Structure 1
Amino acid sequence: MLETTDKEAFVLEVHHRLSAVYGTQIKYFHDLDPLSELMSALLSHRTKNRDSGEAFANLMDTFGSWEAVRIAPTEAVQQAIKPCTWPEQKAPRIQQVLTLILEKHGSLTLNFLADMEVHAARQWLEELPGVGPKSSAAVMSFSTLRAKALPVDSHHFRVAVRLGIIEEKIGEGKANRVLENLLPPDFTAQEMYDNHQVMMRHGQKVCFHYKPNCKDCVLLDRCPTGQRLVNKP
């Protein structure tokens, strides 16, 4: 593994190489308020984007507001989110989280997070059941808050591990802040979002879970995993 200063330089090199392929100033894919983004994140756990998106739309079409979701019969919420995995677990969890937000803040909104320092806002979110570093970063970055936070999904994580930036045993949860801290401190929220997007897209388009396309990888000369696979007898 590289030393921290070498890792920082390497991470920036990776960022620039992938940005040359996948672009910069990447458009945000959501314009959801932070509470809606949190609900979307809770639905997305171990679920394909298409299915969690359908579940989210069903909730809005069926109930119309998060307060209506909160007080609805749990069975009705479960039925609405049936497209996602484990709806029997996610329905009561969503209602529990909505109730806790109402109790802790006094109203059913997360817009107040805009007035908090990002680290403090993420800590507040992570006190909620089922909300870890990935979800808190997603709320801060993807929502209309557009804050400086680095979500790390499975694709992003896989690319970072194969490049030797982090060890697989660290897990996606802890990797979130480790990878964020390796980015330049003067990175803007947009640049941090771009980093997540280019790492994720590279994992989706080249660095596949099975049979990665190493020969066409722009990072092959710097990737120990790719070098090993390409030179494998």
Structure 2
Amino acid sequence: MADEPAENISGGPGGGSEATFDPSEADSRTEAVIDRLGERYWQKTYGGQDAFECLVRTILSQNTSDKASQPAHESLMERYSDGDLVEALAEAHQDELVETISSAGLYNRKSEVIIAAAEEIREEFGSEAEFDAFVRDGEPEVVRDRLLEIHGVGPKTADCVLLFSGGRGGVFPVDTHVHRIYRRMGIAPPDADHEEVREILEAQVPAEKCGFGHTVSIQFGREYCSARKPACLDGPEACPMYDLCDRVGVDEVSETAVDPAEAD
């Protein structure tokens, strides 16, 4: 089993705790996929990360690579984390924050979203600690709905906060990798949107496996199941999930791949 990277998974912190799950036969093809990926990569439980920092980090990761967002996160924390991070960012000057997170891309928009989120959270919760308690202890659907009310926070960002900070079982964030993989496999319909994929995965994957299911799926997408050149184009032996995959949108004869929604 591979070691999980300490960082760079889904814009959220890695380094979860090792977890052992009772061995049993998978109840669905979806669970079989997660089990095999977990055996290949890692089986971890998550939670315990600071909720507001996790929110900021995930916003920085939006529409950019980990290589770009990670330095931005480090620079932001170095500049603003001496004290209450919510307070510091609510009072931050946007031009200063833009300079700090410039490596993340879309820095004007992201700086605006981060400052506005900090102001909103300070007004409602008062402090970083109180917001953290809300995320960890509140009803998951209530927390998710409240996170989605924050401008610039979409379903994937909200779910990452619930997973990496709240440690909520049954939460399966859907990023571009997850969205592509499970439609390509035929587990979700080819034209399913991110929310439809999430609902399918959370219904078919046991709650205790959703967290590592999310992170190992991303790793699989990076290593094997890329958008344009999935490993299966090199033959069945090139992909460890070949026998569990319908390869929707993949033409092994012409050696091309398209988004599943564009497949004939």
Q: Which residue among 140, 144, 148 is the counterpart of 1:118? A: 140
Deviations 1:159-213 (A, max 9, x none): 10110111343222442233222223xx32xx21111122111111111212211
Confirm or deny that 1:198 pairs with 2:206.
Answer: no
Greater RCO between the two (CA within 8 Å, min separation 6)? 1
Contact 2:117–2:151 (Cα < 8 Å) also in 1: yes
Q: Where in structure 2 are the equivalents of 1:192-231 lying within 5 Å?
A: 192-214=210-232, 215=235, 216-225=238-247, 229-230=251-252
| AA aligned opposite 1:14 | V
User: Residue in 2 aligned with 1:135?
Assistant: 157
Alpha carbons of 1:123 and 1:228: their partners in 2 closer, same or farther (altered >3 Å)?
closer
State the distance in 1 between where 2:167 and 2:119 align: 25
- Supply the RMSD in Å over aligned alpha carbons: 2.2
Confirm or deny that 1:147 pairs with 2:168.
Answer: yes
- Cα offset, 1:31, TM superposition: 5.9
Contact 1:14–1:219 (Cα < 8 Å) also in 2: yes
Alpha carbons of 1:13 and 1:82: their partners in 2 closer, same or farther (altered >3 Å)?
same
Per mean C-alpha deviation after superposition, the further-off stretch among 79-88 and 161-170 is 161-170
Alpha carbons of 1:195 and 1:207: their partners in 2 closer, same or farther (altered >3 Å)?
same
| AA aligned opposite 2:38 | S
Aligned length: 219
Contact 1:93–1:130 (Cα < 8 Å) also in 2: yes
Q: Where in structure 2 are the equivalents of 1:78-89 lying within 5 Å?
A: 78-89=98-109
| AA aligned opposite 2:37 | L
Alpha carbons of 1:36 and 1:203: their partners in 2 closer, same or farther (altered >3 Å)?
same
Deviations 1:45-76 (A, max 9, x none): 10111211111111122233332222121111
Alpha carbons of 1:63 and 1:221: their partners in 2 closer, same or farther (altered >3 Å)?
closer
Contact 2:86–2:127 (Cα < 8 Å) also in 1: no
Contact 1:126–1:136 (Cα < 8 Å) also in 2: yes
Secondary structure, in 3 states, of the residue corresponding to 1:83?
A: helix
State the distance in 2 between where 1:66 and 1:116 align: 19
Secondary structure, in 3 states, of the residue corresponding to 1:224?
A: coil
Confirm or deny that 1:36 pairs with 2:53.
Answer: yes
Confirm or deny that 1:45 pairs with 2:62.
Answer: yes
Contact 1:134–1:176 (Cα < 8 Å) also in 2: no
- Cα offset, 1:221, TM superposition: 2.2
- Cα offset, 1:154, TM superposition: 1.3
| AA aligned opposite 2:73 | F
User: Residue in 2 aligned with 1:54?
Assistant: 71
User: Residue in 1 aligned with 2:205?
Assistant: 183
Confirm or deny that 1:72 pairs with 2:89.
Answer: no
State the distance in 1 between where 2:91 and 2:55 align: 18
Contact 1:41–1:138 (Cα < 8 Å) also in 2: yes
State the distance in 1 between where 2:58 and 2:161 align: 8
Structure 2 alignment gaps of length 5 or more:
1-26, 256-264
- Cα offset, 1:152, TM superposition: 1.5
Confirm or deny that 1:10 pairs with 2:10.
Answer: no
Structure 1 alignment gaps of length 5 or more:
1-7
Q: TM-score normalised to the size of structure 1?
A: 0.85
Per mean C-alpha deviation after superposition, the further-off stretch among 75-84 and 56-65 is 56-65
Q: Following TM superposition, where does structure 1 have runs of at least 4 consecutive aligned residues deviating by more than 6 angstroms?
A: none
Alpha carbons of 1:81 and 1:57: their partners in 2 closer, same or farther (altered >3 Å)?
same
- Cα offset, 1:232, TM superposition: 5.2
